Amino acid sequence: MRKLLIAFLFTVISINNANAQDKNTFWLGADISGTTQLESSGEKLYNTKGEIRENTALMKELGLNAVRLRVWVNPRGGWSGAEDVLEMAKRAKYYDMAIMIDFHYSDWWADPGKQHIPAAWQYMSYDEMKNALAEHTEDVLSLLKKNGIDVKWVQVGNETTNGFLWPMGRASDNMEKYAGFTEAGYQSVKKVYPNAQVIIHLDGGCDQKRYDFIFDGLKKYGTHYDMIGLSVYPYWDVMAKLESDWKGTVRDCTANIKHLYEKYGKETMIVETGAEAKHPKEGYIIMKALINAAKNDCGGHCHGVFYWAPELEGQYPLGAFDNHRPTEIMKAFAK
């Protein structure tokens, strides 16, 4: 009996220590969801010494401690489908990197400009679609759990600045239905991973008004969530005339993070960011300033920064690689 009691106390202490460590960890990550598709086309990545590296291994080598992986419902070619996500999650587990799962609830890209209903859900009623969302969420996460994957965070929707599953879940027209979809996702996450943090993710992290709109709406309908995720892109903010320069983005997203904690009592993470790849020296300065602000100027309420698709070249202006190698931008993530 005494041995059992000692073993139980040891387990409790170990869990408490792990939770305390997690609470004090500042997460530096990257969304590397396109890794396997990149490999299938024959692309190879290298470290700064010119040595070939698999993308997950390379992120670990660069100092990152977490990865973010998107999930599409029935994607063409299977990329970012459940089995593809499992393959990449296994790699992250091997390198002891924390995992964030990002449900798009679409067969392809979902963002503030498009939130397409998956083809298989196209003619469903609200209740049917809510059930389909819940089942999809539970099925994907159950597959990961069955394969020994620990998931630390789950996004219910990607950049849901005006809801998702349009037009039914468009927040400006149907806030109650968007809230209902979000609640269904939350409950499904907790069924599989009770300790995972459920994130609601919006773009334009410098713009307080769009956050108040969504989170006031979710509060009105009693929707549950654990954290707020922000996209913080100085480049796009200047293009959209939200800011005049990158310093304004860093300043205003920092103020917004503090505001969100004060108003809603929620912790935050910057789940997407990026800098212009063709200006790596400036990109390093921007990322360093953003990481420093997130870590030190938000009252301890921002818990990480994730770069979006650093390995992308050519097709996207905000990657962080040149000639298949990381640029100076990624040095900002070194510990």
- Exposed / middle / buried, residue 213 (Cβ in 10 Å: 0-12, 13-18, 19+): middle
Q: For residue range 135-174, what is the model confidence (pLDDT) as tens digits?
A: 999 999 999 999 999 999 999 999 999 999 999 999 999 9
Q: For residue range 173-189, what is the model confidence (pLDDT) as tens digits?
A: 999 999 999 999 999 99
For strand 227-232 and strand 66-71, is the pairing parallel, antiparallel, or unpaired? unpaired
Contact 59, 32 (CB under 8 A): yes
For strand 325-326 and strand 321-322, is the pairing parallel, antiparallel, or unpaired? antiparallel
C-alpha 140/C-alpha 102 separation (Å) is: 11
Amino acid at 271: V
* The pLDDT of residue 5 is above 60: no
Contact 8, 45 (CB under 8 A): no
pLDDT of residue 2: 55
* The pLDDT of residue 18 is above 50: no
Q: Where are the domains of the chain?
A: 29-333
pLDDT of residue 1: 54
C-alpha 131/C-alpha 135 separation (Å) is: 6
Which CATH superfamily groups domain 29-333?
A: Glycosidases (3.20.20.80)
C-alpha 170/C-alpha 116 separation (Å) is: 11
Q: For residue range 37-74, what is the model confidence (pLDDT) as tens digits?
A: 999 999 999 999 999 999 999 999 999 999 999 999 99
